[in-house]
Amino acid sequence: MKSIAGPLLVLVALLASCSSEPMAPTAPPPGSQGNSDPSEQTRRDNRAVADSLPLGDQQDFEDASRGLVARQDRVVVRTESGRVVWDTSSYADQTGPAPDTVNPSLWRQAQLNNIHGLFEVADGIYQVRGYDLSNMSLIRGHSGWIIVDPLTSRETATAALSFARKHLGDAPIVAVILTHSHIDHFGGVQAVASIDDVESGRVRVFAPEEFVEEATSENVLAGIAMGRRAAFMYGFGLERSPRGHVDSGLGKEPARGSFGLVPSTDVIDRTPQPINIDGVRFIFQYAPESEAPAELTFYLPDHKAFCGAEVVSHNMHNLYTLRGAKVRDALKWSGYIHEAIELFGGAEVLFASHHWPTWGNERVIANLEKQRDTYKYIHDQTLRMANVGMTPREIAEEIRLPESLRTSFANRGYYGTVKHNAKAVYQWYFGWYDGNPANLDPLPPEPLAVKYVDAMGGSSAILAKAEAAFSAGEYRWVATLLDHLVFAEPGNKAARTLLAKTYDQLGYRAESGPWRDVYLSGALELRGGDSPSPLDIKASSDLLRLMPVARFFDAMAVRVDGESAADSDVSIVFDFVDMGQSFLVEIENGVLNYRETPADTEADVTMHLTRDFWLKLVIGQAGLREMIFSDELDVDGSRMKLLSFFSLMDSPEGDFNIVTP
């Protein structure tokens, strides 16, 4: 048995990327990352933004504060061990006018996202906002509460529900609505309903079709790369300060804690789908492949209230997210909003999974129409320009929303941006290739950088050009020059220093929270700092329990080193004795394939184990001793073949370089 311990422990590392969404580690203290001062050009650019927008308009601030029931001056949420998972005091300095180091429009959004507490949306509808990246909504039923989107983590959901009950009473929870398959809307569900509550029928759980599959699989196959990129997108390594992370646009930041999932009891799979939940009339809209692969919205006709989930929000959303994910369908997204206007046009209040509500029918419809038209405009104009031969970068440079859309704060690029959303539309239809033969098979970054530096006369010549361009405020060009130089000469301290200063200026000017965090995270790493990995497999154990076993084999397949495995021929049966399921997993031609099969199928090795023990292996709760002595694991066949099988797999650490070669 000792001979298989090492390979199985490798499997633990291989599958450690299965967390569905990022968690942010504790940020460094203020003043620790050494950013440069804002340049005069950056100051001018930010003043121009302030002059171009009605930043004094207080309507959003009035809406974000309306209906306040109660609030805490400081919301601090900890794990049982005392680790902080949420702390609003990290953003206590976000008052007054925007500093020169923050885009004034983003600063305004950050101030709005700082408004937290328990709010009444309409009679019988409440929201807890500012306890997580997302909102928890509570709808009063005849016998108890209907909870909508129980936040990211068990800890933040527990805190939010406890605060709500303190002021609204201890009525039982009778139903949970999970609007879509992103973890900040379901990860805390076990704080409001246990699996036993659901299986016993005490709590009904409503979710869109394919919810569990999408919720457990979005980042499994590409989780390590997504996690590394998410560290940049959310600024996990940045201090929370006017020179670091200030806001994600969608909310303050992803919460940190433990994640879970429960099975759904009721599936939303059509529009309209009327359902009475504990005496409350709902009309559901099924909206798959919009902001999430599995998503729903709903209307409460007796309240004249529309919950837009994350199909609508108070910012432009991502058609493509910088952490990396499948591109979203702008046309469908826009179409669902149009459908909602037609179906629920009498709505007097619009509330959603992020941000604050909108009241009054005229304002609600105007908000929906502008959100609809923003995604439709980007879609249509990108294709119009592509059809006259423009490439993605050319389109991104030229496309501009009409004034009626771009001056609406709810359509500003605090999260997504017009530029990268236009590129997403192009990618949706045409893929990565822009049609130019020079871009069909270009050199990879490092050899290209070496030739680029040589062609421009060497590092000294490039540095001189970059310094002149920096002085002229041409930061995008400076970034291009110095990116090549750093990739050609990663030890060039002068190049790294100036590139970091350049990223500072680009970050200070960015209206998008993720763009700001990406630039400033790049600067941090150029100065020798780290962007911590967001992956914590143990925190996701309750989520992984509901993941289909087959998905783990998909994750194993993308770890196989194809060249090393090209001449291998090995087969393993995984027999899950407690589930009555077994899978034949084979490596041949450098590829791992699997299929469900009888346990007595002929193979080189058969592993008899329980699903619970498998999960312990995956999350690292079971080690060498447990594998040697456990009654939950038995192995038949060639241990050498088993060793060979696991030795063919990579074990990536998720700390690969981004801004350096």
Please give the pLDDT value at position 18.
36
| pLDDT mean over 271-285 | 98
Tell me the pLDDT band of 623, cut-offs 50, 70 and 90. low
Tell me the pLDDT band of 469, cut-offs 50, 70 and 90. very high
Residues 136 and 117: beta-carbon distance below 8 Å: no
Average pLDDT in the chain = 91
| pLDDT mean over 298-323 | 97
Whats the size of the chain, residue-wise?
661
Alpha carbon 536 to chain centroid, angstroms: 15
Q: Does pLDDT of 6 surpass 60? A: no
| pLDDT mean over 416-427 | 98
Q: Residue holding tokens 């109660």? A: 70
The domain segmentation of the chain, as residue ranges, is 2-16+547-647, 438-526
Query: How would you classify residue 435: left for phi > 0, otherwise alpha for psi between -120 and 50, otherwise beta?
Result: left
Residues 115-130 pLDDT 10s: 999 999 999 999 999 9
Please give the pLDDT value at position 651.
81
Distance CA 150, CA 353 (A): 10
Tell me the pLDDT band of 403, cut-offs 50, 70 and 90. very high
> What are the tokens at 448?
């290209």
Q: Does the predicted TM-score (pTM) go above 0.75?
A: yes
Tell me the pLDDT band of 546, cut-offs 50, 70 and 90. confident
Residues 145 and 215: beta-carbon distance below 8 Å: no
| pLDDT mean over 495-499 | 98
Do domains 2-16+547-647 and 438-526 share one topology? The answer is no
The CATH H-level (homologous superfamily) assignment of domain 438-526 is Alkyl sulfatase, dimerisation domain (1.25.40.880)
Looking only at the bridges linking them, the beta strands covering 117-122 and 125-129 are antiparallel
Cβ neighbours for 426, distance < 8 A, ≥ 6 positions apart: 382, 386, 392, 395
Q: Out of 146-160, 433-447, 543-557, 569-583, which region has the weakest mean confidence (pLDDT)?
A: 543-557
Distance CA 466, CA 636 (A): 64
Please give the pLDDT value at position 161.
98
Distance CA 375, CA 335 (A): 9
Residues 103 and 49: beta-carbon distance below 8 Å: yes
Please give the helix or strand (H or E) that residue 119 lies within, else none. strand 117-122
Q: Does pLDDT of 372 surpass 90? A: yes
DSSP string, 369-410: HHHHHHHHHHHHHHHHHHTTT--HHHHHHH----HHHHTSGG
Tell me the pLDDT band of 624, cut-offs 50, 70 and 90. low
| pLDDT mean over 495-522 | 98
Q: Out of 9-23, 435-449, 529-543, which region has the weakest mean confidence (pLDDT)?
A: 9-23
Q: Does pLDDT of 29 surpass 60? A: no
User: 272 preceded by cis ω (within 30°)?
Assistant: yes
Give the Å distances, CA to CA, from 11 to 258, 519, 566, 573, 642. 22, 34, 20, 15, 12
Q: Out of 27-36, 76-85, 410-419, which region has the weakest mean confidence (pLDDT)?
A: 27-36
Please give the pLDDT value at position 13.
35
User: Which of 309, 283, 67, 63 minimizes the C-alpha distance to 182?
Assistant: 309
Q: Does pLDDT of 90 surpass 90? A: yes
Share of the chain above pLDDT 90, in %: 81
Q: Residue holding tokens 């009444």? A: 120
Q: Does pLDDT of 74 surpass 90? A: yes
Q: Does pLDDT of 10 surpass 50? A: no
First to last CA, the chain: 41
Residues 169-202 pLDDT 10s: 999 999 999 999 999 999 999 999 999 999 999 9
Class of domain 2-16+547-647: alpha beta
User: Which of 576, 619, 566 minimizes the C-alpha distance to 598?
Assistant: 576
